[in-house]
Amino acid sequence: MWRLARVTATSLSRSRRFSTAIPGPCMVHKRGADILHDPWFNKAIKVIRGYDDTGFPLTERDRLGLRGLLPPRVISFEQQYARFMESYRSLEKNTQGQPYGVVSLAKWRILNRLHDRNETLYYRVLIDNIKDFAPIIYTPTVGLVCQNYSGLFRRPRGMYFSAKDKGEMMSMIYNWPAHQVDMIVLTDGSRILGLGDLGVQGIGIPIGKLDMYVAAAGINPQRILPVMLDVGTNNQELLEDRLYLGLRQPRLEGEEYLAIVDEFMEAVHTRWPKAIVQFEDFQMKWAFETLQRYRKRVCMFNDDIQGTAGVALAGLLGSVRAQGRPLTDFVNQKIVVVGAGSAGLGVLSMAVQAASRMAGNSEAVTRNQFFLIDKDVRLYTFSLSQTCIEALYQFYGLVTKERKNLDPAAAPFAKAPGEIMGLKEGATLLEVVKKVKPHVLLGLSGVGGIFNEEVLKAMRESASTKPAIFAMSNPTLNAECTAADAFKHAGENIVFASGSPFENIDLGNGKVGYVNQANNMYLFPGIGLGALLSGAHFITDGMLQAAAECLASYMTEEEIEKGILYPSINSIRQITAEVGAAVLRAAVAEELAEGHGEVGPKELAHMSKEETVEYITQNMWFPVYSPLVHEK
């Protein structure tokens, strides 16, 4: 079931980068200055030192009425690329020593300016330098961008549907200029990373996720659509901020809320019936509710619940292998999960399913190995002399069946009295770790530093020879612990993964503590691309399981032995092609694949595994300047 061989990497972007093949023409309905103002067609850039560098050849200038609108010198795409990188590096040098937030926002601004002006060059530098740029356009910097969105806002990107647009969405959707949309990332801004309710400012997340879709999955950027559903915000600070750009009202709730999401989904489905919708960063109640509501009706998935689950499962299986144990030993691993939210519960569900498949379908038995920790809110009544005082207290601890008001989604993972090894309802994280001696400690709580020194030191007594610590919350300050603290306090033999990137740790004497980035970016692009090219109308558990299995089996024994559980982000296109192929083949196996474009279901069904990877790869968009031809 869990295959360990890696399929040979196929020819991807790097080789195409130096290809001398002349790209096919691109038809354009604009002329003159309109072309220069359209980032999709524009071939000019402005770098820090201030003047335009233009990649429009002279013949093209004549064809398109551009002569005289640009300085005479023509430089190549490669030269423009080098000039942009030079100005980026000089910015890096000039901001050395300044606070992290200042530097990363400066980097984000220079990339965003390029994005605004010249999409081809923007995506090319992003693809080729993904390791450097992912932390800027994605976590952690994207969190900072969302927090400072009102100040950073220059021009809109994506679409905004608000509670005030009720009844109008079906016509509004036709305001989007592109004829075809393949991939939509949708948020309501209610739980942005671990930063909470950021209202309309959460639009940065769909934009960042879709940039990753272009970079990793080669989704054509003309066919992506970031969407913000602004149903209000419960963030008092934003409501009082005069610069806040969203609706100044409390969030819609209940049926009113669902009516807005329903209307949006119907509008999207009417205009682009084949578009895939990724739900992102919804607060838990709506994350689960909307997933149940739409997953059998349209091609959608919830990245935080389903994408994260697959990535975490791949990491959990990797950590079994890192101990030198067979994969089937997964059923014996004790795993403590901190945070019973959409991501934590998604991980638990998928891990329980995987373990029970390994143990002969006995979910009741496999649930025993998992311990869930979350906060509980209880009302206490005190009596001070004659006065009764009521107070709400928050407790953080082990979730058992005794817990009142437990969310139904968490209920299956609550421990029964006989399963808690003498621990009590609400036992602290430290008590649980000391008692359970878990093989894995996994955090999806959004609480920075909750894996404190004592907790990490207690992991030294883990039953595992290589205890695993997954501090998966984002952005960096919300990580349950830092990489340095994990290796310092829990020991050098741990396996470590975090949701946002940390540098590897120098353990001295030539030894390295490897840091893995356990982030759903390793799966969502492949899930979206595979589903798109399969032409399936739904994304099933089978397709998601195939994605997770593919990622789990990607790493070699040598890498795993060193504690490297996930591929380098530099090879994200390769892993995405493999994941996409696994998803597509699962859709074929479930007889859901209806094909895409000219490739029908029969052709998909006849493709070997390698041919499917090749097919996926060939369908990835790659940025080059195409000759522009005017068409009326």
Ligand X SMILES: NC(=O)C1=CN([C@@H]2O[C@H](COP(=O)(O)OP(=O)(O)OC[C@H]3O[C@@H](n4cnc5c(N)ncnc54)[C@H](O)[C@@H]3O)[C@@H](O)[C@H]2O)C=CC1
Binding string, 266-305, against ligand X, x = CB under 6 A?
Answer: ------------------x-------------------x-
Does the annotation count 209 as an active-site position?
A: yes
Is residue 559 close enough to count as binding ligand CC(=O)C(=O)O by CB under 6 A? no
CB 572 within 8 A of CB 216: yes
Is residue 520 close enough to count as binding ligand CC(=O)C(=O)O by CB under 6 A? yes
- Dist. CA 436–CA 332, nearest whole Å: 12
- Which residue is associated with the tokens 């103002």? 37
User: Which residues 140-199 are close enough to bind ligand X by CB under 6 A?
Assistant: 191, 193-194
Buried b (16+ CB within 10 A) or exposed e, 378-406: eeeeeeeeeeeeeeeeeebbbbbebbeeb
Residue closer to Mg ion by CB (options 119, 280) is 280
Binding string, 479-518, against ligand CC(=O)C(=O)O, x = CB under 6 A?
Answer: --------------------x-------------------
Residue closer to ligand CC(=O)C(=O)O by CB (options 187, 369) is 187
User: Which residues 436-465 are close enough to bind ligand X by CB under 6 A?
Assistant: 444-447, 450
Among 44, 114, 127, 193, binds ligand CC(=O)C(=O)O (CB under 6 A): 193
Residue closer to ligand CC(=O)C(=O)O by CB (options 230, 303) is 303
- Dist. CA 427–CA 405, nearest whole Å: 17
CB 427 within 8 A of CB 413: no
Nearest 5°: the CA angle 317, 321, 348 is 20
Contact segment (CB under 6 A) with ligand X among 258-266, 420-428, 468-476, 603-611 equals 468-476
What minimum distance in Å lies between the beta carbon of 520 and ligand CC(=O)C(=O)O?
A: 5
Q: Which tokens hold the place of 250? A: 């409390």
Contact partners, residue 548, CB within 8 Å, separation at least 6: 309, 310, 311, 313, 314, 350, 354, 523
Residue closer to ligand X by CB (options 409, 582) is 409
Q: Which tokens hold the place of 207? A: 């934009």
Among 53, 304, 549, 559, binds ligand CC(=O)C(=O)O (CB under 6 A): 304
What minimum distance in Å lies between the beta carbon of 476 and ligand CC(=O)C(=O)O?
A: 11
Contact segment (CB under 6 A) with ligand X among 165-173, 197-205, 373-381, 484-492 equals 373-381
Residue closer to ligand X by CB (options 444, 565) is 444
Contact segment (CB under 5 A) with Mg ion among 41-49, 233-241, 274-282, 539-547 equals 274-282
Nearest 5°: the CA angle 410, 414, 415 is 170
Contact partners, residue 381, CB within 8 Å, separation at least 6: 388, 389, 390
What minimum distance in Å lies between the beta carbon of 280 and Mg ion?
A: 5
* Secondary element (H or E) of residue 190: none
Kindly state the DSSP code that residue 400 receives in the 8-state scheme.
B
Q: Which tokens hold the place of 185? A: 């990332």
Q: Give the one entry of Mg ion, ligand CC(=O)C(=O)O, ligand X, none that residue 447 binds, where binding means its C-beta sits below a cut-off of 5 to 8 angstroms depending on kind.
A: ligand X
What minimum distance in Å lies between the beta carbon of 278 and ligand X?
A: 12
Q: Which tokens hold the place of 407? A: 């969310």
Nearest 5°: the CA angle 286, 292, 295 is 115
Q: Which tokens hold the place of 148? A: 């400072």
Among 60, 188, 263, 374, binds ligand X (CB under 6 A): 374
What minimum distance in Å lies between the beta carbon of 206 and Mg ion?
A: 10
Give the burial class of 558: count Cβ atoms within 10 A of its Cβ; 0-12 exposed, 13-18 middle, 19 or more buried.
exposed
Residue closer to ligand CC(=O)C(=O)O by CB (options 127, 195) is 195
CA gyration radius for the chain?
25
State the Cα torsion 120-620-192-564 to the nearest 10°.
-110
What minimum distance in Å lies between the beta carbon of 193 and ligand X?
A: 4
User: Which residues 295-324 are close enough to bind Mg ion by CB under 5 A?
Assistant: 304
Q: Residue 173 CA to chain centroid, in angstroms? A: 25
* Omega before residue 601 within 30° of 0, cis: no
* Catalytic site residue from 81, 138, 213, 566: 138
What minimum distance in Å lies between the beta carbon of 84 and ligand X?
A: 29
Give the burial class of 30: count Cβ atoms within 10 A of its Cβ; 0-12 exposed, 13-18 middle, 19 or more buried.
middle
Is residue 303 close enough to count as binding ligand CC(=O)C(=O)O by CB under 6 A? yes
Residue closer to ligand X by CB (options 284, 593) is 284
Q: Helix, strand or coil for residue 371? A: strand
Buried b (16+ CB within 10 A) or exposed e, 219-245: bbbebbbbbbbbbbbebeebbeeeebb
* Catalytic site residue from 107, 209, 415, 466: 209
What minimum distance in Å lies between the beta carbon of 69 and Mg ion?
A: 42
CB 497 within 8 A of CB 565: yes
Among 188, 263, 281, 485, binds Mg ion (CB under 5 A): 281
- Which residue is associated with the tokens 């031809």? 629
Among 473, 482, 545, 576, binds ligand X (CB under 6 A): 473
Q: Where do contacts with ligand CC(=O)C(=O)O occur on this chain (CB under 6 A)?
A: 139, 193, 281, 303-304, 474, 499, 519-520
Q: Which residues are designated catalytic? A: 138, 209
Q: Where do contacts with ligand X occur on this chain (CB under 6 A)?
A: 191, 193-194, 284, 304, 308, 311, 338-344, 373-375, 396, 444-447, 450, 472-474, 478, 499, 518-520
